């Protein structure tokens, strides 16, 4: 059985100096007390290399918040899987709602996922979720199914044999708003995601997809999700910016 995952997405909330300070704090605490869960942090690109050195002897894994849709080449402002591999990135977020909303990533999610899966051994974490309008229309399952099928449209069964694949369910209306989906809605959404994935990729060597929940998770509400078998971990935003809060969740989830 896979460990549960506690992942902190720092976004662009911290500058270089404060990113390193936070990584140091988390690493030092984990040196004295281990978490039974897998710990991942997603700093910004500028601090990835330095933080990889800070956490290299700890149980912390580092991940990138985004990646290019192509291998190495003339793509100004992008970052390659090759570079991320060399600085020991184990995970990459793909299709976060903020990337979709502000940077048009809906058009590139399939290419980015294909690039990561076919050209590296880095584990992708695909982010999907419905908007408030879609939720009110009762279209949550329809949206999740389409986002999954679109994202994996360039992936074949043989590409993911024995590959670890993670999906983060992040209802767009719950990200950074303080609103959290009802527990039963989370259960049903996670079941639907796992069902859709298993329909797309059937085979004895296909690992069961892990599904994380993200959306205003904090120290006051994470225990509501602790014992749900459908929830394989958490993708945390604001609460991951304080070492104490982040590790409170990591130690007790």
Phi-psi region of 247 (alpha: psi -120 to 50; beta: other; left: phi over 0): alpha
Q: Alpha helix locations (H) across 121-227?
A: 132-136, 140-151, 183-200
221 has binding-site annotation: no
Active site residue 96: yes
176 has binding-site annotation: yes
170, 190, 192, 230: the active-site residue: 170
178 has binding-site annotation: no
The answer to whether the CB of 44 falls within 8 A of the CB of 12 is yes
Coil, strand or helix: which one is 42? strand
38, 96, 114, 230: the active-site residue: 96
Q: Alpha helix locations (H) across 55-108?
A: 81-86, 97-103
Contacts of 102 (CB under 8 A, 6+ apart): none
- Using alpha carbons only, give the angle 29, 215, 27 rounded to the nearest 5 degrees: 15
Active site residue 230: no
73 has binding-site annotation: no
Residues in a beta bridge with 214:
235
9 has binding-site annotation: yes
| 185 alpha carbon, distance to own chain's centre | 20
Binding-site residue numbers for substrate are: 9-11, 176, 216, 237-238
Binding-site residue numbers are: 9-11, 176, 216, 237-238
> Which residues are annotated as catalytic?
96, 170
């Amino acid at each position: 059985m896979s460990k549960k995952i506690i992942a902190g997405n720092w976004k662009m909330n911290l500058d270089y100096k404060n990113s390193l300070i936070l990584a140091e704090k988390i690493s030092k605490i984990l040196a004295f007390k281990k978490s039974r869960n897998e710990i991942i942090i997603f700093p910004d690109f500028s601090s990835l290399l330095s933080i990889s050195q800070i956490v290299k002897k700890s149980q912390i894994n580092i991940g990138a918040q985004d990646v290019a849709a192509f291998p190495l080449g003339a793509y100004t402002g992008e970052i390659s899987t090759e570079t991320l591999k060399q600085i020991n990135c184990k995970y990459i977020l793909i299709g976060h709602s903020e990337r979709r909303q502000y940077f048009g990533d809906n058009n590139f999610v399939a290419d980015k996922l294909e690039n990561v899966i076919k050209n590296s051994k880095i584990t992708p974490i695909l982010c999907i979720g419905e908007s408030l309008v879609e939720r009110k229309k009762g279209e949550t399952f329809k949206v999740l199914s389409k986002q999954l099928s679109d994202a994996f449209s360039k992936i074949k069964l043989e590409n993911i044999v024995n590959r670890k694949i993670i999906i983060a369910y992040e209802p767009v209306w719950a990200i950074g708003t303080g609103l959290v989906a009802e527990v039963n809605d989370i259960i049903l959404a996670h079941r639907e995601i796992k069902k859709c994935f298993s329909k797309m990729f059937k085979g004895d060597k296909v690992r069961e997809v892990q599904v994380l929940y993200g959306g205003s998770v904090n120290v006051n509400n994470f225990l509501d999700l602790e014992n749900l078998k459908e929830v394989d971990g958490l993708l945390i935003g604001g609460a991951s910016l304080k070492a104490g809060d982040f590790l409170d969740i990591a130690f007790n989830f």
